[in-house]
Amino acid sequence: MKRIMIRGVAVLLLFTLIFLAAGCNKNGSESKNGTNAGAPSKREVLRLPIALEDSVNPYLAKSTINHSLTGLLFDSLYYVNGNYSTKPQIAGSETIEGLKITVTLDSNKKFSKGSYITAQDVEYSFSLAKQSEYYAPLVSNIKSAKASGSKIITFTLGDNDAYALASLSFPIISSGTDIKNKSYIPLSSGRYEIKDENGIKYLKPNAHCKDFSSKSKKIELVNITDSESIISSLVIGNIDSMFNDLSAGHYERINAGTKDVVMNNFIYLGINRYKGSLSDKELRKAISTIINREKIVNEGFKGYAKETFTPFNPDWYAVAAIKQPGKDANIADAVKYIKDNKPKAILRLVVNADNEFKKDAAEIIAKALRDNGIDVNVEALAFKGYDSAVKAGRYDLFVGEMKLTDNMNIYPLLNNRDETYASFQQLHDKTKNLQEFIDDFYNELPFIPLCYRKGITAFSRDIAVEVESLQNDIYKNIGQWYLK
């Protein structure tokens, strides 16, 4: 039996094999939300994939398949919406004083067996998040969590964070969970729980989740054991939905219902800016101006990205009213500046050769530079060589990617000797507003923002309602789903 693929690579290859011959254009005549139904459904029970060789414990899970179930099984203190604003979920209220965030839990929230969710459960979940490869970046700025009684917990931050509540979106599991047993299914704190009926696992509505109702009284979980299982399940309708994060950088258009999901995966042009011609910030701005982001999105990422001129997700509520400096910069002025100040040496642009999206984006960038008199060589390196070159500074430019946490933390992309670093600190201690920070960022431009990647949720055309899907809640409105 083939081993379950950890990331979305397998899913992506499978989509390619299944649908290459179908030739359905993303914007073609087929409806993305399944309004053109195929054969009538012969069953009533919805089906989702699960990887039983992996764990459904969110702090042990490795596969994209099982992480896609997390939003259904486990609630968090705060729910992060599609615009990255937060709303209380298990939290009832909070007070923020300096580096302290004190959260009082909603006294009505229970686990699926009826026990109340306590501050001790939150403290335990936080300790697991700190140790988890998947969630550790989210809580990296939270130094400690301490329960006071059963309903109050205080988090201590390492640094000021104006958007810290978005970091309190890690899943809550019971403090009695057997963390050493990956097959153990934790008590649900969310909308659904997993039940076993005659050896078949189902999602069933959590009776103690009082603010949720579901049209489906049970949703069958189909075990995905290998590549062939995914192929056959998708083709013959044994599963009704699955998520592909397109992390492998290649995708063939599919003849199925799909929903694009803007992820918090930031694509940028890294710059070796401390030496040579690229130390000139005006040259960096000019290069940013001549890069056609629309072309990078549509041709490089095949439409599965969303352009940006700031380092932040364009869907983030906080940037909605922000002016993006550089977006309307004068191209003629940029061209002239490059002509008068272009680098004398040939620039080295490195990119991950294993990712077709990024390779195509690098060639688009290189062409824009060459068309304006800047000599550049694109060096597509296998990931190990690419990663080594970037870490060692053996580049002039590189196409990079970073998955930002829900609180839009870009500290890992900044150098503490940059003016932008100090400005970002001021944003979070509230001595500067977001517009002032973005202006400072553009004035220095330590790297060039390009776009944010998308994934896709694919689903059966027999689903009778419009599917909603978010990065942190893949099956967002599944409670309304039913089959035609």
Q: Which residues contact 197 (CB under 8 A, 6 or more apart)?
A: none
The CATH class that applies to domain 1-72+190-256+460-484 reads alpha beta
Per domain, the residue ranges of the chain are: 1-72+190-256+460-484, 75-186, 262-453
pLDDT tens, 253-267?
666 789 999 999 999
Domain 75-186 has CATH 1.20.1090.10: no
Q: Chain-centre distance of CA 57, in angstroms?
A: 19
Question: Which of 24 and 165 is assigned the larger pLDDT?
Answer: 165
Q: Which residues contact 11 (CB under 8 A, 6 or more apart)?
A: 5, 64, 65, 230, 242, 243, 244
Name the burial class of residue 340, with classes exposed (0-12), middle (13-18) and buried (19+) by CB atoms within 10 angstroms of its CB: exposed
pLDDT tens, 163-175?
999 999 999 999 9
User: Is the CB of residue 187 less than 8 Å from the CB of residue 112?
Assistant: yes
Question: What DSSP state is assigned to residue 463?
Answer: B
For residue 11, pLDDT beyond 50: no
How much is the pLDDT for 264?
A: 98
CA distances from 359 to 3, 137, 244, 342, 390 (A): 28, 27, 20, 24, 15
Topology agreement, domain 75-186 and domain 262-453: no
The CATH class that applies to domain 262-453 reads alpha beta
Least confident of 1-15, 189-203, 445-459: 1-15
User: Is the CB of residue 269 less than 8 Å from the CB of residue 448?
Assistant: yes
Given CA atoms 211, 214, 218, 220 in this order, what sign does their dihedral have? negative
pLDDT tens, 406-460?
999 999 999 999 999 999 999 999 999 999 999 999 999 999 999 999 999 989 9
Under the banding of pLDDT at 50, 70 and 90, the label for residue 235 is low
Q: Report the distance separating Cα 439 and Cα 443, nearest Å.
A: 6
